[in-house]
Chain A
Amino acid sequence: MATRQGWALATALLVASASVASGHQPAPAPAAGSPLAPDPSLAVIRPAPDFALSGVDGADVRLSELRGRVVLLSFIYTSCTAACPLLTQRMAVLQGRLAEAGLFPAQVNLVSVTVDPERDSPAVLARYAQAFTANPRGWRFLRSERDRLGPVLTSYDEWTRRLPGGDIDHPARLHLIDRAGQVREIYSLGLFDEKQALLDIRKLLREPR
Chain B
Amino acid sequence: MDKLINDLKVQIIAQLNLQDIKPEDIADDQPLFIEGLGLDSIDALELIVLLQQQYKIKLSNPSDGPKVFYSVKTMAEYITANQS
Tell whether A pairs with B.
no
Q: Which of A's residues lie within 8 Å of B, judged by CB? A: none
